[in-house]
Structure formats: C-alpha cells, structure tokens
Structure 1
Amino acid sequence: MDKFIVSARKYRPQTFDTVVGQSHITTTLKNAISHNQLAHAFLFCGPRGVGKTTCARILAKTINCENLQPNGEACDNCVSCKTFNEGTSLNIHELDAASNNSVEDIRTLIEQVRFAPQMGKYKVYIIDEVHMLSSSAFNAFLKTLEEPPSYAIFILATTEKHKILPTILSRCQIFDFKRITINDTVEHLQEIATKEEIKAEGPALHVIAQKSEGCMRDALSILDKIVSFTNGELTYQNTLEHLNILDADYFFRFLEAMQQQKLSDAMLLYDDINRKGFEGDMVLNAFSEFLRNLLVCKDEKVANLLEVVESFKDKYIATAKATSASWIISALNVLNEAEINYKQARNKRLHVELALIKLTYLQQALDIAAPDKKKVAEKAVQFRAIKPIAVHSLQSTDDGKKPAADSPKTVVNTSSAKLIIEEPKPVYQPGTKPATATTTTSGTVTTSPKIASLAKIRQQVAEQNNANAHKARPLTEEELQVAWKEFILKLKTANKHSVVSTLEMMECKMRTPELFEITCFGNVQLGFLKQEKTSLLEHVQHFFHNPAINIHVELVETQEEENPADRPLSTKEQFVKMVEKYPLVKELKDRLGMELDY
C-alpha cells in the first residue's frame, strides 16, 4: 500500500504556470528571469496558504536551471532540477525564522554566504516567517542583505509585513500575494478531484472554497478530510454536515415566516437548528450574512459581489426583489445588536429568540413608525396665488401728469397677468427714521415711518453692550477676597469638602485690574484646582460683571516633593550605590564586557 500524501503536498505547484491565482507575480518573475534582471533580495508577503513559499522554491529552481525553456520555466531534466526535486541541492538553503530567530542563526547564515556555489549560477537563501526574527538579528542581517555577493539571492516570506523593519523593506523587491478567488479555488479543486477519481458536486466544492477564505492549503486540507468522511463522494449535504455550516435554505424559510409574521414557524425552525448543535451566535452571524447577500442583490451593478452557490443565485435575486430595503437594513441592525450582546447574555437561547421575535414583528413596527403619506401631502408648502392689480396707464397718473423722476415704476406682464413692482431704494437722512414703501389699493405708493428689523436688532445689541460696559467693574483686592470666599462657600454647599480644604490652603491675590492669581503649593493642590478652574473663573467674572477678567495659576513646588524621602531608588542609582560600596563589582563588569540595561 502506497504511503498517503496530503493533497497540499502532492499537488504543490512545481512550475510558475501551475501556481493558482497569482499570475501578476509569476509573470513578473518569469520576465525578470528571461531578461536577466533579477534583484538580489525579494520579499513575498500575503495571507497564509496562497503560494509564497511555493513561488520562492520555484524561483530558486528556475534561476539555476541549465536548460531554461523559452516560456521562462525550468526543464525538470537537468542535474540542477533533479537535485532540487530530490531535495539534495546544495545551492538552496531554507531557514525557518520562527525557530531560528537569534543573532547566532543569522551569523551562521552569513558565514555560508561567503562560499560560492559548486555548481549552478546562484545560491538561494529562503527565509520563511521572516517577521519572527529579533531586532538584533535583523540588524545583523542588514549589511549582507544590502550588498550580498553576486551569486547570492535572498527570498524572504512573511504573513505580517508590518512587523518587518523599514530598513529591511527598503532593501527588498516586494511582491504582495492576494487571496485566491472562489472561482479559482473551485477550478483547482475540480482538477484534483478528476485526477483522484473523486465524485464531487459543484456546490460542495463551492462551499469548501468559501470556508477556506482564499487559502488554497486550507481548501485542500478540507477536501482530504471530507473525502475520508464520505468515502470519495462529495455531495452538498454531507459537506454542510461535515463543515458544520447552516444551509441557506434555513434562512429563506426564516425570512418567509417573518414576512408573514408567523412567530411559531420561526421558533420551531430555530429549535430544529439548535437541536443540530449550532450555537446562537453562529445563527445570528449566518443570518446577517444572508441578509447582506439579499441587500447586494437589490442592485444589479453589485450583484457580482454575491458569493453563494450557483443554484441559489436565482432564488436570492427573486427574494431580494420581494423584500424591501428598509426591512433588510432594520433587520441587520437588530441582528448586529443581538450579536454584540450575545456574550453578556445569561440565557443564550432566550437572547436569540428575542431577536427572532423582533424580526418577526419588524414590518409591523416599520408600518407604525412610517408617516401617513396623505398627511405629508397636506402639510406640503402651498403657494398663495397673487391677484394682478389693474393699472390704467403706464405713462401717466390719474391727474394726467407725468410721473416724477423718483416715483415708483410699474411694469405689467399682460401675457401672464402678473404684477411686478420695482420700487426705488429709500434714501436715509441723518437724524431721521427709515421709511418703508407701501402700496395702496388704487395703485399709488406711499411711505410710512417704520424702523427696520435689522436696525432695531443692532440698536438693541448696542444698548445691551453699553449697559454691560457700565456694569463691568475692575478687580480690587478686597472684593476679590469676597468673591473667593463666596466660591469656597458654594463648594461647601455642594458637599465638595476635599476640594474646599485644599482651596483654603491656596492663596488668591490680584495682579492687574483684569487678572488675578492663584498660588498652589504642590502638584496635589494643582490637580484639585484644575477641576474647578473653569467654575472659579466664571464665578469671578459674574461677580464683577466683567467677562474680560482672566486667571493665572502659579505652582510652587515644596522641598518634600523635590526630594521625597521614601522614594525607591532606580536601577541605575542602586548600581551606583553598590559600586561605591564594592568597587570590585565595576571592575568585574568591565573585564567581562557586560552591558547593563537600566
């Protein structure tokens, strides 16, 4: 019986063309090889299981191939390719930085770089999980990474690019790997299923691709597990059962019961799900994802974002058309709140059932909250119809005389029967009140004395400012002390006794007619004053009716705070004190070349 090899290793790509979903990177690498424009250091970063280490090995194999193919691929027949496939090549060194992350490991690697390859053009050093290296190891690696020998190429791989030092990033050619799409994953799984003679349904492979979340290694591991579980027959139902995934059909039934306000059907359906062992938060999360898909289907422009099984797409689109967007958005808010508060709930099942009850009667609540359309129409703004005023003549008045030069001009639009009156701007004389123009029923215009609203407001503001200016009083030492004592009494009434006792120890004195000073003795008093500083300033300004008054805080540090007796010694002070008492300690430190971390 042959030894079993997992699919992730058995079907690991050996050439650039077999790498799935990373064509933007493989094409760039092949062109660099064919044009002999290879960088001395590469950084492959991206999510787990998308082909970073695989591409690094293919690159190391291809650049040392003796018979490079026209399409930029390795020949797989030369000595270099055979030794690579057998794992005996001396030109390729792999280092796992997760377990070899010290300075000594990097120094050992640098020592190996000095030796040229015995056969082939390049010595390739692949450092996986490079973000696990310590800071000192990174620093030891900097110089070699910047100016390596012409035959050395470094390929660094990591899933956490942000943890790598910027000095390392600046010395590498960076390639960002992306997550593998669901369609690419399904196609690759179908190819493997065909080679392994596995009966696999398309929806089952689609579910596996969704569960893997863009990681091909996870998808292949799930495929191996389900094949062992089902004896080589992958169906949609046994895949859902094995992966512990809720079928979308449950949520279609949930939605139907809620739209018809059948609470009993929704509760029985949740009981069925609960008996199968699904946790409540999983139900809430899956239902939220289902409603998100419905909302996406409302607009055909974003329908391609729908990542569901092909057989369900038509049903999603039809259901989305029959469901209002307001209901979906409100339901998503209810589910989001329920999912956030799920962990704090004592009775988990009751918490989920309450969310289902809210969703069942959500449409009724929306109908009650929605305003009556008829009332909205009645409250619409209505424009008053203006009746045109009949004017006998535009060139003469009733007495037959021509109008004066400053008389109002009247223009009549006979086609629309609207009257437009253009009046001259009034001329204001100093010492007189402004007048506004009025039109009489006979068509003549007269003026009557009337104070404009804007001028009236300005006059009131000016009078108020003048009154405040007369009330404002400058600071005096005696009145300031009265205001200070009133403020302390106000704090006593508010039961702030700790603040009162602290303020009583401070000094309050006048510096200028619009500035007073508070002297604090120590940081403790300063902290209490900061809490009441705004209230104190407002109280003093109100007391003197003067908003221009300001406050200045003076801090006087006490001798006890500068040199506290009970302060513990720092590490450096302890060492200095030890050296004063025992001088040989410093001599021992210097001889051993020890460094102290203070």
Structure 2
Amino acid sequence: MENFIVSARKYRPQNFSTVVGQAHITTTLKNAIRNSQLAHAFLFCGPRGVGKTTCARILAKTINCENLQPDGEACNECHSCKSFNEGSSFNIHELDAASNNSVDDIRTLVEQVRFAPQAGKYKIYIIDEVHMLSSSAFNAFLKTLEEPPSYAIFILATTEKHKILPTILSRCQIFDFKRITIQDTVEHLQEICTKEHIQAETDALHLIAQKTDGCMRDSLSTLDKIVSFTSGHLTYQNTLEHLNILDYDYFFRVMATVLEQDVAGALLLFDEILQKGFEGDNFLNGWAEFLRNLLLCKEDKALHLVEVSGNLKERYKQLSGQISPAWLITALHLLNETEINYRMARNKRLHVEMALIKLCYLQQAVTLVSDDSSGEISKKKLVPDGAAPQKLRAAQPITAQTIASAPTSSNSIAAAPPVTSPVSTPAIPTAPVQTDHHTVTTMPVQTTAATTPAITAPIAMATAPTAPAAIHTATAPVSKPAATGKLTGLAAMKEAMASKQQGSTPLQATPLTMGAIHVYWEEFIHQYRQANKMTVVSNLQLAQLKLLGATEVGIVSRNIVQFRFMEEEKLVIAEFLKQKFNNPAIVLTLQLDESQQAQDIGPAPLSSREQFQQMSEKYPLVKELKDRLNMELDF
C-alpha cells in the first residue's frame, strides 16, 4: 500500500511564486536577495497556517542557491537546492523552540554558529515557535543575534509576537503575515482538486474556506477529510453535513417569516434547526453574519466584503433591497446582545426564541412618522388633535408661558381674543388675572413686522391659589410668525424656565449645631450598616466630629489609616451634609490626632541582632548550639 501524503505537505510551496496570499512579503524577500540587502535576522509573525515556516525554508534555500534566477527564485537544480529538497543540507539548521527552550539548547546553538559553512555562502538557523523560549534563553541569545558572523542568518517564526522580548524584536527585521483571503483559498483548493482529479463545487470550496478562517493548512486538511467522506465528489450539501454548518437557505426562510411577522413560522424553523443538532449560539452567529451580509449588499462599494459565491451574492442583493438599513442595524444590535447573554441564560432555547419574537415585531419599533408639511422625519404626536380642551395639543406652537411651582388645573388656562397686527408690537407689561381660586399671568411675545399676521393666543399657566377676587385681564395684540413657529415656542420655553428660576425662592438653610450634626451623622452611618459594610461603619464610628465655624465641620481621625479612609470619603460626606442642612457653603475639614497615632503605633520593632540577643538571654541553649557549631550569623 502506497504511503499517503496529506495535501498540506504534498502541495507545500517550494518557491516564492507558489506561496498563497503573502505577495507583500515574497516580493520584499526576492528584491532583498537580488540586491544583496539581506538582514542578519528575520522575524516572521502571524496566524497559524499562513506560510511562516514555509517562507523561512524557501528563503534559506534561495539564499544559498548557486544559480539564482533573474526573478529572485531558486533554480532547484544546483547541488545546494537538491540537498535542501532531499533534507540533507548541512547549511540549514531548524530548531523547534517549543521543545528546545532552555538555556543549554541556545548555548549549543551559539557554539555551532562559530563554525563557517563548508559549502555555500551562508549558514541559516530557523527557530520555529520562538516565543516559547525562556527569558534566560532569550538573554543568552541576545549578543549572538545582535552581532552574528557574516555567514550566519537567523530566521525566527512565531504566532505570538507580543510574548517576545523587545530587545529581540529590535534586532530583527519583522514581517507580519496576514490571513489568507477566502477567494485566494478557494482558487488554491480548485487548483489542487484539478491536479488530484477531484470533482468539487465552488460553493463547497467556499464553505471550507469560510470554516478555516484564513488558515491554508486547515483548509487542505479539511479538504482531505471531506474527499475521504464523499469519495472524491464534493457537493454543497455533503460539505454542509460534514462541517456541521447551517445552510444559508434556513436563514433566507427565517428572514421571510420575520418580515411577514409570522412568529409561529419563525419558532417552528428554529425548532427544526435544533432538531438537526445545532445549538442556539450557532444559529445566532450565523444569523448575525447573514444580516451583516444583507447590510453590506445595500452599498455597491462594500459588496466585495460579502465573501460568498456569486449566485448567493445575487440572492443577498435582491433581499437587501426589501429591508431598510435602520431595521438591519437594530436587528444586528439585538442579536449581538442576545449572543453576549446566551451563556448566562438558564433556558437557552427561550432566550433565542425571545430574540426571534422581538425581530418579528421590530418593524413597528423602527418605523418613524413622516411630517406631511415638510416631508422631514419627526416624532409622533404625543396628544391627538381631538384631545380634551384642558390638554395642550402637540401641533400648537407655544408662544409664551409662565410656570410656577404650584399645581395646575384645567380652569387655569386663559387665552386672549384674536387680534391681527401687521406691524411689530412693543413689549407690554404683563397683568395678573385673578380667578376664584388661582392667579393667572399672561406674557405676550414681541414680534417683528416681517412675520405674517396670524394670531396666537398667549398661554397662561396657573400659580399658587389665592383668595376669590374679581377677574382682571390685560391682553395685547400679538402676531404669530408662520415660518418660525418652532423657534418662537423654544424661545418661549426658555423665557418660562428663566421666570421660574427668578420666581422660585430657595429653601432656607438649616443652622449648624452639634446636635443636628450627630443626628445626621448617625443617619449617614446607618446607610452603610444596612448595606452590611461593617468595615466602613467601624471607621465612621471611631471618627470625632467638631464644629469649627458657622459653616465648617471638622472630622478628627485617630490614626493615619482612618485618616486616609476619610480622605477617600470626603466628597461623599460633604455632599451629604450640604443636602441635609440645605447649605452648599458647608466646608468639611479633616484632622489627624497625633497623640492617638503615637499610642496606636506602639514600640518600635527589634532588629535581627536584637532579636537574637533577646532569644539568647531567654534560651541559653541557642547560644551554646551556635558556639558548638561555629556558626556565623548574617545580620
């Protein structure tokens, strides 16, 4: 039986031109070889399976090629190239740092560097997984890596660049390998299928490329596995079955039920997905990817980011035209939150089903009301036109209002009779309107001659109730601007807030007394006692309160630890006292009782010599043992 060689080894690139997806690196290396500008140390870093070790071996072979090609490639015919291809080259040494990561391994390598090559120009040392070296091994390698012999070149490869010491990074020429794109992976897989006489659908190869996430080695291993499963005939369906991937048809069907607001149909489809053995997180992940592709398909310039086959991309584009971007963005946010909380959910099935139900009724949530007059998007009206007369209609512009702290009632709204005025009207002083139970103030608004002669009645808000009296009203002709009604309403609201602040009387501050301070202090401590923060309670209880002035409160701490704690809580305590005494001018001062601090500290600790002398006096055998053993104590 012939030995089987996996595709990852059989089709491993042998020159720079066959490396897939790393043209920015292969071009740089070929130009450096042609121009004789080779660095003495290279660092290849990037994800797994993208060609780091392969490029290191190709570079090592090309450097020592005796008949270098004009394009910077090795000839594969000279003695050096043949010995490398056969694995018998003495000038190329490969070390696995994962299993040889000690200082002794690096010292052995450094000893070998001293010997010049017997044939060829350079001795190349490839150290794979270099991040696995210990710190001592890195330090032992520093000097040799910085100033190696002229014939020595080091090529380091790693998947975790952040674990390498900065002193190593600064001595290397760094090349960052990127993930291989899905399109490059599909083209390479198609080329291998043609050479191996394998029948494979393009959609099936797309699935393999998406599943392996830019790792060519994983893609080739997956291809070998599915070829064995399907006997050399790869189809979209059997690839789905083998890779345990949800079919895109399910997502298109779920999308149809969601757009139709068919909750029962969406839940039945999710149940069918669960019956096939898929977990809820797999569905959420695939569904979010599906919505992301729909959102990208709405812009032609972003269409290339949808990494699916051509016929499937056309289906995406047709469906995306039926859905608004607002719906897609909101749905993506909802699915992201659902996926984040999926692991913490007890009933995971219900957790996903709730997300589906929300998606079914998401259209009403993102639908906005269009303004018929301007065609712009505006908020929905809070009160319809046919509302009760005592409520303000949302469509009416508010010209002026006075807001007081007392509660309002339905009979507290008074309006002036309509009066037309085509010219500007000066500001007129307001006059109070007295009713049986309320005092009403009207505030006319000054307008300009450029406004239209439409009339708006001033709106009066009730103030505190007064004694019954005769009604006196004062009105003035006011014209309403037609085009700037919203601005006039905003200005009126600002005037109302200003008048409210001017009319409101601040509450009187409570004078500071030691009795009141102690009462509020116990209330402050009780908050932490209810929260079961007994350490904070004990620190607060040990503090001593003093009245240092009319608006100054002092807190005396017994030791430095308590003082530091009070410094951290100073802002909270000060704000609490300001609110309780209704006095923003209160100042909190922290003090440290030096006498108490000295008592708490206690005697100074003994030195090592003093401790030994004290122990020797108490236990004479200790000194006798020291003398018999001729021990010298290091104090």
| Fold equivalence (TM over 0.5) | yes
- Corresponding residue for 1:219? 219
- Corresponding residue for 2:556? 519
Instruction: Give the counterpart letter for 1:549 in structure 2.
Output: V
- Secondary structure of the residue aligned to 2:131 is helix
- Corresponding residue for 1:361? 361
- Secondary structure of the residue aligned to 2:321 is helix
> Residues 27, 563 of structure 1: CA spacing in aligned structure 2 closer, same or farther, 3 A cutoff?
farther
Instruction: Give the counterpart letter for 2:589 in structure 1.
Output: I
Report the Cα distance in structure 2 between the residues aligned to 1:82 and 1:587, rounded to whole angstroms: 69
Report the Cα distance in structure 2 between the residues aligned to 1:214 and 1:345, rounded to whole angstroms: 32
Shift in Å at residue 258 of structure 1?
1.7
> Residues 18, 376 of structure 1: CA spacing in aligned structure 2 closer, same or farther, 3 A cutoff?
same
- Corresponding residue for 1:431? none
Report the Cα distance in structure 1 between the residues aligned to 2:144 and 2:517, rounded to whole angstroms: 71
Q: Is the 8 A contact 2:80 2:120 kept in 1?
A: yes
Shift in Å at residue 77 of structure 1?
1.2
Report the Cα distance in structure 1 between the residues aligned to 2:75 and 2:86, rounded to whole angstroms: 15
1:176 aligns with 2:176: yes
Give the alignment of 1:338-377 within 5 angstroms: 338-366=338-366, 370-371=368-369, 373=371
> Residues 514, 112 of structure 1: CA spacing in aligned structure 2 closer, same or farther, 3 A cutoff?
farther
The correspondence for 1:553, drawn from 591, 609, 616, is: 591
Shift in Å at residue 43 of structure 1?
0.6
Instruction: Give the counterpart letter for 2:135 in structure 1.
Output: S
1:315 aligns with 2:315: yes
Q: Deviations over 1:180-210 (max 9, x none)?
A: 1111111111111111111111111111111
Q: Is the 8 A contact 1:67 1:74 kept in 2?
A: yes
Shift in Å at residue 280 of structure 1?
1.3
Report the Cα distance in structure 1 between the residues aligned to 2:628 and 2:179, rounded to whole angstroms: 61
Report the Cα distance in structure 1 between the residues aligned to 2:40 and 2:163, rounded to whole angstroms: 21
Report the Cα distance in structure 2 between the residues aligned to 1:236 and 1:544, rounded to whole angstroms: 74
1:163 aligns with 2:163: yes
> Residues 512, 275 of structure 1: CA spacing in aligned structure 2 closer, same or farther, 3 A cutoff?
closer
- Corresponding residue for 1:269? 269
Question: Is 377-386 or 308-317 further displaced after alignment?
Answer: 377-386
Q: Deviations over 1:530-559 (max 9, x none)?
A: 576345435666769571634123265746
> Residues 589, 363 of structure 1: CA spacing in aligned structure 2 closer, same or farther, 3 A cutoff?
farther
- Secondary structure of the residue aligned to 1:322 is coil
Q: Is the 8 A contact 2:97 2:133 kept in 1?
A: yes
Instruction: Give the counterpart letter for 1:216 in structure 2.
Output: M
- Secondary structure of the residue aligned to 2:49 is coil
Q: Deviations over 1:232-265 (max 9, x none)?
A: 1111111111111111111111111221222333
- Corresponding residue for 2:574? 537
Give the alignment of 1:49-448 within 5 angstroms: 49-366=49-366, 370-371=368-369, 373=371, 388=422
Report the Cα distance in structure 2 between the residues aligned to 1:329 and 1:539, rounded to whole angstroms: 44
Shift in Å at residue 215 of structure 1?
0.9
- Corresponding residue for 1:430? none
Question: Is 178-187 or 508-517 further displaced after alignment?
Answer: 508-517
- Corresponding residue for 2:469? none
Report the Cα distance in structure 2 between the residues aligned to 1:249 and 1:544, rounded to whole angstroms: 67
Report the Cα distance in structure 2 between the residues aligned to 1:472 and 1:270, rounded to whole angstroms: 65
Report the Cα distance in structure 1 between the residues aligned to 2:510 and 2:268, rounded to whole angstroms: 76
Q: Is the 8 A contact 1:46 1:52 kept in 2?
A: yes
Instruction: Give the counterpart letter for 2:124 in structure 1.
Output: V
Instruction: Give the counterpart letter for 1:533 in structure 2.
Output: K
Q: Is the 8 A contact 1:65 1:75 kept in 2?
A: yes
Q: Is the 8 A contact 1:117 1:151 kept in 2?
A: yes
- TM score, norm. by length of structure 2: 0.71
Instruction: Give the counterpart letter for 1:275 in structure 2.
Output: Q
Shift in Å at residue 327 of structure 1?
2.4
> Residues 564, 177 of structure 1: CA spacing in aligned structure 2 closer, same or farther, 3 A cutoff?
farther
Instruction: Give the counterpart letter for 2:10 in structure 1.
Output: K
Instruction: Give the counterpart letter for 2:235 in structure 1.
Output: T
Report the Cα distance in structure 2 between the residues aligned to 1:329 and 1:32, rounded to whole angstroms: 47
- TM score, norm. by length of structure 1: 0.75
Q: Is the 8 A contact 2:559 2:592 kept in 1?
A: no
Unpaired segments of 5 or more residues in structure 2?
373-378, 386-393, 400-418, 425-447, 454-475, 480-493, 616-621
Shift in Å at residue 154 of structure 1?
0.5
1:485 aligns with 2:518: yes
Q: Deviations over 1:255-313 (max 9, x none)?
A: 11221222333233222222211111101111111111111111222111111122211
Unpaired segments of 5 or more residues in structure 1?
391-410, 419-437, 442-452, 474-478, 591-598
Give me the CA root mean square deviation. Answer: 4.3
1:506 aligns with 2:537: no
Identity of matched residues, %: 59
- Secondary structure of the residue aligned to 2:186 is helix
- Secondary structure of the residue aligned to 1:258 is helix
Instruction: Give the counterpart letter for 2:62 in structure 1.
Output: T
1:39 aligns with 2:76: no
Give the alignment of 1:562-581 within 5 angstroms: 562=601
- Secondary structure of the residue aligned to 2:175 is strand
Report the Cα distance in structure 2 between the residues aligned to 1:316 and 1:359, rounded to whole angstroms: 19
Shift in Å at residue 328 of structure 1?
2.0
- Corresponding residue for 1:27? 27
Q: Is the 8 A contact 1:480 1:509 kept in 2?
A: no
> Residues 155, 361 of structure 1: CA spacing in aligned structure 2 closer, same or farther, 3 A cutoff?
same
Q: Deviations over 1:424-464 (max 9, x none)?
A: xxxxxxxxxxxxxx9999xxxxxxxxxxx99xx89x98x99
Report the Cα distance in structure 1 between the residues aligned to 2:161 and 2:598, rounded to whole angstroms: 51
- Secondary structure of the residue aligned to 1:71 is coil
> Residues 564, 346 of structure 1: CA spacing in aligned structure 2 closer, same or farther, 3 A cutoff?
farther
Q: Is the 8 A contact 1:487 1:536 kept in 2?
A: no
Report the Cα distance in structure 2 between the residues aligned to 1:321 and 1:355, rounded to whole angstroms: 23
Q: Is the 8 A contact 2:50 2:217 kept in 1?
A: yes
Q: Is the 8 A contact 2:45 2:158 kept in 1?
A: yes
> Residues 225, 582 of structure 1: CA spacing in aligned structure 2 closer, same or farther, 3 A cutoff?
farther
Report the Cα distance in structure 2 between the residues aligned to 1:328 and 1:583, rounded to whole angstroms: 86
> Residues 57, 585 of structure 1: CA spacing in aligned structure 2 closer, same or farther, 3 A cutoff?
farther
Report the Cα distance in structure 1 between the residues aligned to 2:148 and 2:549, rounded to whole angstroms: 72
> Residues 332, 439 of structure 1: CA spacing in aligned structure 2 closer, same or farther, 3 A cutoff?
closer
> Residues 31, 327 of structure 1: CA spacing in aligned structure 2 closer, same or farther, 3 A cutoff?
same
Q: Is the 8 A contact 1:537 1:551 kept in 2?
A: no
Q: Is the 8 A contact 1:518 1:551 kept in 2?
A: yes
